[in-house]
């Protein structure tokens, strides 16, 4: 099944999270997001206020990241990042799981870290997406993180930061196996073709994080 351009654009988080982002790049992202009716722009916390001002009364939402890209900042820091971002206009928070705690199998810490940020985020009316960084995980770790995300009641599980490798279809299938319809999937990392986007959407992915959105829809 080939999806329509509208079905694709409405799922895209128009993303630029590299260190060399500038205000002019944010201007372009926001204008393109409005023109093509992308789901959101996903930008660093520093530019949330600017993006929120540009997208006032517009359809695209403002998405930013917390604990990015490695996830091992302390929980209070993540909470403050999320709080400030929401106060400045973010509607969606993409939070990186503490991968060090995952690899240490400190699941109580992982649960508490995610829950603390998720509660704050959702109480303030924003969506929370948990980035689990699938390229660094084995299937049993993905399973455990899916179980924790279900308990925490996050809005999305997101596959990758893009810094550790691309998303793979096998990881999408593993995630789908261990969650129900209460949690959606955001795929990100190395997504740069319409054919791959179609494959992801047909596999049940609800959001696409990509820095190649214009290329994909052109």
List 13, 78, 94, 113, catalytic entry: 94
Six token digits for residue 196: 């791959």
Residues in the chain: 218
Neighbours of 39 (CB within 10 A): 22
Please indicate whether residue 158 is annotated as part of the active site: yes
Cα Rg of the chain (Å, integer):
16
Structure-block tokens of residue 45: 């916390």
* Helix/strand/coil percent split, the chain, to 5: 50, 15, 35
* 24 classed as catalytic: no
d(CA 63, CA 79): 16
Which of the 8 DSSP states describes residue 3? Answer: P
Q: Hey, is 156 helix, strand or coil?
A: strand
Which residue of the set 78, 129, 144, 158 is catalytic? Answer: 158
Please indicate whether residue 144 is annotated as part of the active site: no
Active site residues: 94, 158, 186
């Amino acid at each position: 099944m080939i999806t329509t351009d509208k079905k694709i654009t409405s799922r895209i988080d128009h993303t630029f999270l590299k260190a060399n982002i500038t205000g002019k790049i944010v201007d372009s992202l926001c204008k393109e997001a409005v023109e093509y009716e992308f789901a959101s722009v996903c930008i660093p916390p520093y530019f949330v206020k600017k993006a929120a001002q540009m997208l006032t009364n517009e359809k695209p939402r403002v998405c930013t990241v917390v604990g990015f890209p490695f996830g091992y900042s302390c929980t209070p820091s993540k909470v403050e990042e999320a709080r400030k971002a929401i106060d400045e206009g973010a509607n969606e928070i993409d939070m990186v799981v503490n991968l060090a705690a995952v690899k240490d199998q400190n699941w109580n810490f992982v649960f508490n870290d995610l829950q603390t940020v998720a509660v704050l985020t959702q109480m303030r009316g924003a969506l929370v997406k948990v980035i689990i960084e699938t390229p660094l995980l084995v299937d049993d770790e993905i399973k455990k993180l899916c179980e924790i995300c279900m308990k925490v009641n996050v809005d999305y599980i997101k596959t990758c930061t893009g810094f550790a490798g691309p998303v793979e279809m096998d990881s999408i299938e593993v995630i789908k196996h261990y969650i129900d319809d209460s949690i959606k999937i955001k795929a990100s990392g190395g997504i740069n073709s319409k054919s791959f986007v179609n494959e992801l959407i047909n596999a049940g992915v609800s959001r696409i994080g990509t820095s190649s959105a214009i290329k994909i829809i052109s």
